[in-house]
Amino acid sequence: MADPIALSGFFADSRAFLKALSENNDRGWFNANKAQYDSALKRPSEKLLTEIAAWFSQELNLHPRTKLFRPHRDVRFSEDKTPFHTHLHMMWFLPDGRSWMLGIAPDYATTGAGIMRFERDQQLRWREAVASDAGAELEAILGAGGWRIDDPEMRRMPHPYPADHPRAALLRQRGLIAWADGLEQALTADPEQTLKDRFAAFRTADGLADAGDLTGQLSGSAPGRSTPPRI
């Protein structure tokens, strides 16, 4: 019988392995330590994905699929030829594009919720909503909650919005993920409960978890998407 998988040491163990990997980022070292990767990262991650997916189903009536991102890097078109990622990413995602994420690395621990990339109709509705009075409310929610938003991908403002629009950064987003950083202590104590608390906070912050519904105008607008976005 396989040993039961405990999550109590998951955060510390995974960070220790990732730190060692960052100092020995080559296939020989990884292959020699594959058993440690499986015990410290892979199996606990799979358990955490399963437990949180069950919580989504029971508590929020949502039924996400799950994904544990592989450690191997695609180096075909990269100048950096190191073969492995030195972070751990996992995700829970729905067919409409909504997703919830956990990221762990030697120097950070973060959770996020939202939509990685809007579908075309979502994008248009997003811009209309952000440009309206609802956009000011959204901006206030993001500021009050201390959420971190990645810099927008678009360099130029989309037509027909002026370059000096007060919410220019939001209008230039191609998707929206709200991140909560600084979770090192909480994840060390209880990773499963920490994720439940954070994901519940995303969901109750006036729809913040439903990035497609941040302003109440985008929910359900995306066609069925069965595969997760790449991060």
The per-residue pLDDT for range 60-117, each reduced to its tens digit, is 899 999 999 999 999 998 899 999 999 999 999 998 888 999 999 999 999 999 888 9
* Domain spanning 10-69+82-213: CATH 3.30.2420: no
The per-residue pLDDT for range 111-165, each reduced to its tens digit, is 999 888 998 988 998 899 899 888 888 888 888 778 888 999 999 999 999 999 9
DSSP 131-168: HSHHHHHHHHHHHHHT-EEPPPS-SSPPTTS-TT-TTH
Q: Which residue, among 116, 113, 114, 118, has the nearest Cα to 102 in the 3D structure? A: 113
pTM of the shown model: 0.83
- For the chain, the structural domain boundaries read 10-69+82-213
